[in-house]
Structure formats: structure tokens, C-alpha cells
Amino acid sequence: MKLTRREFNRLLALGAGAHFIPNLHAQTEPRKTGYCIVGLGRISMQHFMPAIKNSAKARVTALVSGHRDKAERMATEYRVPTSSIYSYDNYDAIAANPNIDAVYVALPNSMHAEYSIRAAKAGKHVLCEKPMSTTVADARAMIAACQHAQKKLMIGYRCHLEPVNLRAVQLIRDGKLGKVQAIESTFGFNIGPNEWRTNRKLAGGGPLMDVGIYSLNACRYLTGEEPVEIDAHSSVIDHDGRFTEVEENISWTMTFPSGVVASCNSTYGATMPGFYRVHGSRGMLNLDNAFIYEGLVLRADIDGAEPIVMRSPSPDPAHFAAEAEHFADCIQQNQQNKAPGEEGLRDMELMMRIYDSCKRPAA
């Protein structure tokens, strides 16, 4: 697109010029992708925002929160003008803010769809935390809204960009383990009382939706296959008020077309670090702390070879920075991202099958 100087000045006056500046200056200093943070909670304030504080590609340019005082503190810290602080009431006004390229949706699960769709309608790209929604229908609606608005949609699957997980995938793809036969994966924790995560309306489900999704997704990227059969069990052991609406424990088995069987466990009632172990005909691969933000430890014991060990640093702000910068790159270069809405939709469909299986009678 070529603009005359007059057209460019007019666009600038309309506040839309910022959209073109990165292209004009592409050869010299690319404009940082501006993120509007939707929801000021643990993941945004303790992880996402600090991770991009010094990023060359991404920056925080706006905030959405129901707590004005908290938003103002964050605005000061991240040099966000107070005019770029929004509430959930005036959220749609982000449309008029040229410094917002994308939103980062870090709200309770049931709010993901609405705030992603409204962002797309406001002309913003969407980076949405996992699980992308609480229903398959919502996930489809999010994809449709972003397609319709010609905006990009990425789901916050950090592990798709995380070097230790990627190394694990590469070892498997390179055949280092021989033929993969079985996988175990777990992720869970002992949840406190009165968390939104145990409220079905807000969370959509229990530990499966929140952390079990990591194991589910990992089994898919480790095998590169989609599960054929699913069997699942869920249970509540602690009748202490935490689990009146969602499962406490959930265990499921997935059979893949190659014959690989994956066994996964998740819980809100016990200590259960993120973990997977892949068993191949020529060796075994183990990843401890597989899904958290730091301290991942990969160990591959391959027949006749020295063990391969890889660790990620602690602390490690790179997890969220990688996500934010990858999406920024995709926006700037108009490319598909590595965890698009369709990836999130597949997990949503599978999680619903897992829940359905829990209801079926077993042997």
C-alpha cells in the first residue's frame, strides 16, 4: 500500500497512523507490538507483564481491570498512560486505541470467549490463555470471530515454544527413542478453598480444564497424533466443600492411531508436579516440572548412549516472553502462529470427550 504524504498525515490525525509506522520503519526499528492486558491476576501480573518488560518486540500498552487502583499501580510500573486503562464496562473502547495491537486475555475461563470475541470485533489480535473457553461452541465462535475480523488468534500454550519441551519433541521425531509405545503424564495440585477454579460457572470444569490440559496437549505434541479412543474416570475424595461443582481427581487414557497409549492424571487434591515420561523401543525420556515456568529437567536414557540432560533456568522469564514475542512476530509478519485457535479447539473437544467418558459405566 502506498500513501501520499497528505493521506498519511490525515491518517495520523485520525489516530490510525500508528498502524502504518512499523511498516514504514521496518528496515530500521520495528515498532513493538502493543498488548492490552485483560485481567490483572497472578498470571498477567506475576508472569506475562514482567516477562515482556524489557522485550524488544512487545510491550504493555493498555490494561483492563475491574480494580482501578490495581490498574493504576500497574500502569505506573509499565508506563501505560491512564487513558489506556479500561474497565469491563468500557472494554470495547479499546477499538479506538491505536497503541493496542493485541489483547492478552487472562480472565477466568468462562470469560475467555466473550473478551476474545469483543477484542476481535474491536479490531485487535487475540492471545488467549488456555483453556480457550469452557465449551466447544464458544471455542468455535472465537475462531469464527477472529476469522471474520481478519485478526489472529493464539492460545497460551507456552510449551509449544519452550526449549526443553521442544527438545523432547525433537528427540522423538529424530527417532532417538525408537518407536514410542507409551506415555505417562500428570499435572495437578492441592487447591485452596474458595478459588474461582472450583466454580463450574467460571472454570467450566475442574483440574482437567486448568492443568490436565497440559498433559492432554503434551501427549498430542509428543506423538504428533490425535487420540482415537478415550477412557476416563473422575472422583471426589475430599468432601470438604471444595468439590461440589467440579471433579477433584481425573484420570484418562488415550489411544493413538500408531497404538501408543497415553495415561494421564490430574488433580486438585494432591501434590502432582507437571511430568511426562515417554517410553520408546530404544529408550525413555523423562521431563520433570514439564509445564511450569522454570526448572524443567529433561533426561533421556537412550540405549547405548550417555544420558541426555537439559535443564531450563530458575527463574526463567523467557516462557511468557517467547509467547508474547512469537505472537508479535506473527502479527508483524502476517504469519500463522504455533498455537492457533484450532489447536485450542481440539483440546476443548477432547476434554469434553474425557468428561463424557467419566459418565459412562466401566467394567
Instruction: Report which residue type is found at 7.
Output: E
Identify whether the C-beta of residue 142 lies closer than 8 Å to the C-beta of residue 169.
no
Burial track 187-207 (b if 16+ CB lie within 10 A, e otherwise): bbbebeeeeebbbeebbbbbb
Using rule CB under 8 A, residue 244 touches a copy of itself: no
Query: Applying CB under 8 A, does 1 fall inside the site for a copy of itself?
Result: no
| Stretch of 134-142, 158-166, 228-236, 326-334 contacting a copy of itself, by CB under 8 A | 228-236
Q: Which of 229, 244, 314, 335 binds a copy of itself (CB under 8 A)?
A: 229
Q: Where are the beta strands (DSSP E) in 90-179?
A: 102-105, 125-128, 153-155
Exposed/middle/buried for residue 114 (C-beta within 10 Å: 0-12, 13-18, 19+)? middle
Measured from the CB atom, is 246 or 262 closer to a copy of itself?
A: 262
Segment interacting with a copy of itself, rule: CB under 8 A, options 4-12, 27-35, 159-167, 355-363 = 355-363
Nearer to a copy of itself, 264 or 324 (CB): 264
256: left (phi over 0), alpha (psi -120 to 50) or beta: beta
Binding of a copy of itself at residue 136 (CB under 8 A)? no
CA angle, 153 as apex, 147 and 159 as ends, to 5°? 150
Do residues 353 and 212 make contact, with C-beta atoms less than 8 angstroms apart? no
Nearer to a copy of itself, 17 or 273 (CB): 273
Q: Using CA atoms, how far apart are residues 266 and 215, in angstroms rounded to an integer?
A: 8
Kindly tell me which residue out of 87, 199, 255, 332 binds a copy of itself, with binding defined by CB under 8 A: 255
Is 308 a binding residue for a copy of itself by CB under 8 A? The answer is: no
Smaller CB separation from a copy of itself, 122 or 264: 264
Number of amino acids touching a copy of itself (CB under 8 A): 54
- Considering the complex, state which of residue 270 and residue 310 has its C-beta at the smaller distance from a copy of itself: 270
190 binds a copy of itself, rule: CB under 8 A = yes
Residue 163 exposure: Cα atoms within 13 Å on the Cβ side: 14
- Applying CB under 8 A, among 249, 289, 312, 337 the residue interacting with a copy of itself is 249
Element (H, E) at 271: strand 269-280
Using CB under 8 A as the binding rule, the residues of this chain from 17 to 56 that contact a copy of itself are: none
Distance CA 244, CA 237 (A): 11
First CA to last CA distance, the chain: 65
Is 253 a binding residue for a copy of itself by CB under 8 A? The answer is: yes
Give the residue with the Cβ less far from a copy of itself, 6 or 239: 239
Q: Is 276 in the active site?
A: no
Strand arrangement of the beta sheet that strand 308-311 belongs to:
229-235, 249-255, 261-267, 180-190, 269-280, 283-288, 297-302, 308-311
Q: Is 293 a catalytic residue?
A: no
Site for a copy of itself in 140-179 (CB under 8 A): 177-179
The three-state secondary structure class of 34 is: strand
| Cα–Cα distance for residue pair 194/179, rounded to 1 Å | 45
Q: Which of 235, 244, 314, 335 binds a copy of itself (CB under 8 A)?
A: 235
**Range in contact with a copy of itself (rule: CB under 8 A) among 106-114, 134-142, 147-155, 261-269:** 261-269
344 in the Ramachandran plot: left (φ > 0), alpha (ψ -120 to 50) or beta? alpha
233 binds a copy of itself (CB under 8 A): yes
The active-site residue, picked from 32, 57, 124, 130, is: 130
Instruction: Kindly state the smallest distance separating residue 264's Cβ from a copy of itself, in Å.
Output: 7
DSSP 3-state of 29: coil
Active site (catalytic) residues: 130, 214
Residues that bind a copy of itself (CB under 8 A): 177-182, 184, 186, 188, 190, 229-231, 233, 235-238, 248-253, 255, 258-265, 267, 269-273, 277, 279-284, 301, 303, 353, 356-357, 360, 362-363
